[in-house]
Structure 1
């Protein structure tokens, strides 16, 4: 009998020990599973379940992963690119073991081509899959149909993408242009649209004789920049569209004299214009004609663009004041972050004399609009707007992830080749898959580094 009791006690202690070990290693196990899932992405393996990158010890909601800052949701397809890092390492080993550098370069090109082909094959199943997931659609619908929208919950949902037909409403709410209280929403929008009309009549619809020399010069510069805005999308080459851009930009510049008009702000209007036009025009943007809309609707769309642009730039004022100190500060942070994440790339760029300002300034100035295919911009901006006031700092992580997409490639280029490469990045065939990978790496690095306030100090 005593022997049986001893055996039972031993078994009990063993079970307790196993349970304790399981509890202790739960976070590590989940994180390791995440890395294995991520590594399988570019090798064609499917994901067995949710991708979990979190410090929480309690079970997560079945549909979302939350950010430590503003409860961002994180999609099933939001994954990093550890697989790319593995392939880069393999290529580096092979290039060092072979005297013929061309063979290594050819292997890199072949690997990139294979990745692009894989992306194309899965595009139909991944493009916008998260944004159109039925469970998330129900959550969006429930959140938007209530008497009052809770901004934190809406940001959580929007971070991983917004269904296109809900984007106009969601963006207005995320930016604080439309009030969360549904009873007040229509009245506020009507008042703000009338206020924009008054501003246009007061500042834009006047003869040049009533403008200062500085205002005339600024209007002319805007007139020059509008035809250059998103030149590869035919919709923006319509004269009427360019006039709308001109009215919005000039009115904004007059109302914000601390910065006035700065080249690059013209690009920031375009996502708003496309999204708010999508409430009235269907099909591809390339087939749209703004003349299909009556003047009052065009006026309302311009007003929404104006106020949303104002709300966006309110959170990054020093990006567009004299010498643009805000952008310079973020470029420095980007350089430090890249150095800590990928020291070989950072060292190579430094040895070649390439300054981050030479390529990253435009990224921050135009928020990547000039870098990625325009059909991906609105998805990227779902995440931008969901970040809210934290956006400027989170841009550093997004742009680091964007740059290090080509980590292995950059290490093989000299100064001139890097400059040309970064000015003409091979992203013409990018889909939502590649963009989600960029955002997921940014999320991972933000989770890892942001809890250490001094990690970018230098």
Structure 2
């Protein structure tokens, strides 16, 4: 039996049990999830806590959550006056705090930023520009009134980029992989995958008003949606949007502090994470740490984006997906993220020790192409030496 077939059988045996051994699941997933039989979408749902370990609860959980998400679309995406549940007596020009129309127009303030970001998602692949097999019937069969991209009014955005001040030259909006063209929307009756992601982010922002939408969230939801919408089990692909939403929400519950500036110094905040990375680098490769310190090349110049976006901007999407298998399956999930970031720096040690400041900034802000297995192996070896 080949190594691949043996791994597939291990996953089949584990996932066939009435109660999933999550410890064993993490062990298997840490070394990569096979791309067959719908394993990865199911494993990510388990690892992120969307599904519980008892299999007999899956059907009711999925049915309940998917129906709830459909209600979110009805209540938050459909404009006032078009909801099927109740008649709207509100006037579009009303500015009262209880006015549904007032809320509708305020929503456009962050919707424009979402629209701008998702139209450029993962430009190295064509997936997000392609039509989904299962467009949302509530939205596409409505002559356009319910399609978010048609609600955007460019003139309302006073500041197009969401920036984080005081963290060096690297901001969330300092994205590396960008093309100049934006994706086009589909004709009536169809919708592209990026339009689905737009709706997920819009609903998330509506449900989390204290946080809202922050630029960069699109880079986190993108890989999750890609996995759910590429499920080899066709029946599950029908619910990719709802499943992605709840997996994304679960992940954001763990990393939301990264996106809230007032929590930067908290234990889960981004400054704390960058300090952990610097400390680990000092322990694992003091020469590289000293070189960067002498050049005053601090972690915020490069690792802010690495950590905040879980390295989704530094590698091609297939590599990001493989890396997330390991990160999601690690019990100290973001401790392993630190290990991976440290490994990336150590693997460039020869260049870093030789380069001047400006060259090192470019090197670390534009991580060179590298076999992801080498990076992960190095991260594991660094952890084992602790």
Question: TM-score, normalization: structure 2?
Answer: 0.73
Is 1:146 equivalent to 2:17 in the alignment? yes
- Deviation, 1:160, is 0.4
1:373 paired residue among 305, 316, 321: 316
- Deviation, 1:376, is 1.1
The whole-number CA distance in structure 2 between the counterparts of 1:233 and 1:220 is: 23
Cα gap change, 1:264/1:408 in structure 2, threshold over 3 Å: closer, same or farther?
same
Cα gap change, 1:342/1:386 in structure 2, threshold over 3 Å: closer, same or farther?
same
Counting matched residue pairs gives 300
1:123-202 residue pairs with structure 2 within 5 A? 133-165=4-36, 166-202=39-75
Residue 83 of structure 1 is matched in structure 2 by: none
- Deviation, 1:358, is 1.1
- Deviation, 1:215, is 3.0
The whole-number CA distance in structure 2 between the counterparts of 1:323 and 1:237 is: 36
1:54-93 residue pairs with structure 2 within 5 A? none
2:204 paired residue among 239, 252, 259: 252
Residue 442 of structure 1 is matched in structure 2 by: 379
Cα gap change, 1:214/1:392 in structure 2, threshold over 3 Å: closer, same or farther?
farther
The whole-number CA distance in structure 1 between the counterparts of 2:384 and 2:255 is: 22
Aligned partner of residue 177 in structure 1, secondary structure:
coil
Residue 393 of structure 1 is matched in structure 2 by: 335
| Unmatched tracts of structure 1, length 5 or more | 1-128, 282-292, 450-458
Is 1:322 equivalent to 2:258 in the alignment? no
Residue 425 of structure 1 is matched in structure 2 by: 367
The whole-number CA distance in structure 1 between the counterparts of 2:77 and 2:344 is: 39
Residue 77 of structure 1 is matched in structure 2 by: none
- Deviation, 1:445, is 2.3
Higher helix content, 1 or 2 = 1
Residue 346 of structure 1 is matched in structure 2 by: 289
The whole-number CA distance in structure 2 between the counterparts of 1:403 and 1:255 is: 38
Give the conservation status (yes or no) of the 8 Å contact 2:65–2:242.
yes
Aligned partner of residue 411 in structure 1, secondary structure:
helix
The whole-number CA distance in structure 2 between the counterparts of 1:322 and 1:205 is: 32
Question: TM-score, normalization: structure 1?
Answer: 0.62
| Unmatched tracts of structure 2, length 5 or more | 81-99, 131-184, 186-191
Deviation per CA, 1:162-209, whole angstroms, max 9, x where unpaired? 111211111111112122222221221111011111112212222583
- Deviation, 1:246, is 0.7
Is 1:262 equivalent to 2:135 in the alignment? no
Cα gap change, 1:416/1:213 in structure 2, threshold over 3 Å: closer, same or farther?
farther
The whole-number CA distance in structure 2 between the counterparts of 1:153 and 1:403 is: 31
- Deviation, 1:212, is 6.2
- Deviation, 1:134, is 2.7
The whole-number CA distance in structure 2 between the counterparts of 1:179 and 1:168 is: 14
- Deviation, 1:213, is 6.2
- Deviation, 1:252, is 1.1
Give the conservation status (yes or no) of the 8 Å contact 2:258–2:270.
yes
1:36-47 residue pairs with structure 2 within 5 A? none
Give the conservation status (yes or no) of the 8 Å contact 1:331–1:356.
yes
1:242-321 residue pairs with structure 2 within 5 A? 242-280=194-232, 300-321=239-260
Cα gap change, 1:212/1:393 in structure 2, threshold over 3 Å: closer, same or farther?
farther
The whole-number CA distance in structure 2 between the counterparts of 1:241 and 1:204 is: 17
2:302 paired residue among 359, 362, 369: 359
2:119 paired residue among 227, 244, 249: 227
Deviation per CA, 1:278-334, whole angstroms, max 9, x where unpaired? 2259xxxxxxxxxxx9xx976611111100011112222311223551111101111
The whole-number CA distance in structure 2 between the counterparts of 1:323 and 1:253 is: 18
Give the conservation status (yes or no) of the 8 Å contact 1:258–1:321.
no
Residue 143 of structure 2 is matched in structure 1 by: none
- Deviation, 1:406, is 0.7
Cα gap change, 1:313/1:158 in structure 2, threshold over 3 Å: closer, same or farther?
same
1:46-57 residue pairs with structure 2 within 5 A? none
